[in-house]
C-alpha cells in the first residue's frame, strides 16, 4: 500500500495542481495512516475497511491531535481512496462513509485600520533595509498574499505600469491588483535600495535580504514582530494577521465576496465568508458599547 503514495502525490501535483503545502500535509497524513494499518496487520489496499478507518480517526483523537488536524487527515484519506478507486486499484471506497469532526470556525484576528497605518509607517526610510521593509509591508497589506507567496515574487511578476502582480501558489497563479501606496513603496525600493542590498549580485526575486539573498519566512516574521512592537500594537501580529486584515477591511468597505475570494486564492467561498462574520461581530461590539440600550 505504501508504494501507492508517491503515485498519488504525483497525481496531486500534476493533475490537481495542489499547492506544495497541501502535498506535504497529505504525504505526512498518509504515512501516519500506513504505519497505523501495518501495526494492525493491514498491508493491502483491498484489506482496508470503513471500520478500521474509523478506528484510525478515533486513534488520532485519543492521541490528542487537534480537531483541525483530524479533519485534514480525513480529507487526505478521502482524497487518496478516491484516487485508488478512480484508477481501479480497488473496487469499493472504504473512506466514503468516514466523517470529519465538526470544527467550530474561530473568527480570525484582525488589526484595526489605525493599527495597520501605524505598522506601515514604522520602517526607517533612511536605510535600505527600512525602504525594503516598507515595500514588503505595503504589498502584503495591499494584496493579502501569504508570506511564502510574498517572498517568492519575482521581478518579472510585478507590473508597475498597470499596478498588479502575479502570485504563485504551487501550480496555481492568480493576478492581484495593488494600490498607489504599495506602488510608491515598491518603486522607491527598486530605485533606491535593491541594488545596494544585492551588493553587485543578481537575483530574480523582488525582495532580497542584507546579504543579497532571497528573503526567508523567518526573516520576514522577525521584522514584522519588531515593527509591531515599535508601532505599540499590543496584539501578537503575524503575517497572516495582515492577510486577514486585508480581507476583512475590503469586506467592511463593501467589496464583493467573490472578488475577495479570488484575490485570497480561496478554493471555497465559505472560507471567505468568515470575514463577513468578523465585520458583523465588530458591528455588534460597537453597538453594545455605544448604544444607550445596548
Q: Report d(CA 17, CA 23) in Å as an integer.
A: 10
Q: Report d(CA 117, CA 96) in Å as an integer.
A: 49
Q: Which of the residues are catalytic?
A: 146, 240, 243, 266, 275
> Checking phi first, is residue 163 left (phi over 0); if not, alpha (psi -120 to 50) or beta?
left
Q: What is the dihedral of CA 64, 67, 68, 73, to 10 degrees?
A: 70
Assess contact for 178 and 139: CB atoms under 8 A: yes
Residue (of 13, 77, 91, 75) closest to 268 by Cα position: 75
> Checking phi first, is residue 200 left (phi over 0); if not, alpha (psi -120 to 50) or beta?
left
Assess contact for 227 and 122: CB atoms under 8 A: yes
Instruction: Tell me the CB-side half-sphere exposure of residue 124, using CA atoms within 13 A.
Output: 7
Amino acid at each position: 500500500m505504501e508504494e501507492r503514495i508517491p503515485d498519488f502525490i504525483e497525481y496531486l501535483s500534476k493533475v490537481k495542481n495542489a499547492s506544495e503545502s497541501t502535498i506535504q500535509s497529505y504525504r505526512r497524513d498518509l504515512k501516519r495512516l500506513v504505519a497505523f494499518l501495518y501495526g494492525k496487520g493491514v498491508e493491502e489496499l483491498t484489506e482496508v475497511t470503513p471500520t478500521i478507518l474509523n478506528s484510525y480517526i478515533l486513534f488520532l483523537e485519543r492521541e490528542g491531535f487537534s480537531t483541525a488536524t483530524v479533519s485534514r487527515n480525513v480529507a487526505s484519506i478521502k482524497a487518496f481512496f478516491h484516487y485508488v478507486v478512480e484508477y481501479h486499484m480497488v473496487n469499493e471506497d472504504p473512506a466514503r462513509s468516514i466523517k470529519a469532526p465538526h470544527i467550530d470556525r474561530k473568527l480570525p484576528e484582525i488589526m484595526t485600520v489605525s493599527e495597520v497605518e501605524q505598522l506601515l509607517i514604522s520602517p526607517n526610510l533612511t536605510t535600505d533595509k527600512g525602504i525594503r521593509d516598507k515595500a514588503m509591508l505595503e504589498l502584503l497589506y495591499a494584496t493579502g498574499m501569504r508570506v511564502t507567496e510574498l517572498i517568492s515574487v519575482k521581478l518579472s511578476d510585478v507590473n508597475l505600469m498597470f499596478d498588479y502582480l502575479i502570485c504563485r501558489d504551487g501550480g496555481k497563479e492568480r493576478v492581484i491588483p495593488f494600490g498607489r501606496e504599495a506602488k510608491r513603496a515598491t518603486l522607491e525600493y527598486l530605485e533606491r535600495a535593491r541594488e545596494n542590498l544585492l551588493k553587485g549580485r543578481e537575483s530574480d526575486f523582488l525582495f532580497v535580504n542584507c546579504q543579497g539573498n532571497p528573503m526567508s519566512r523567518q526573516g520576514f516574521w522577525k521584522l514584522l514582530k519588531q515593527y509591531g512592537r515599535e508601532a505599540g500594537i499590543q496584539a501578537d501580529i503575524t503575517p497572516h494577521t495582515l492577510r486577514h486584515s486585508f480581507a476583512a477591511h475590503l469586506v467592511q468597505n463593501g467589496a464583493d465576496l467573490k472578488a475577495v475570494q479570488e484575490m485570497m486564492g480561496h478554493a471555497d467561498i465559505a472560507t471567505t465568508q468568515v470575514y463577513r462574520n468578523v465585520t458583523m461581530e465588530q458591528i455588534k461590539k460597537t453597538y453594545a458599547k455605544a448604544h444607550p440600550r445596548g
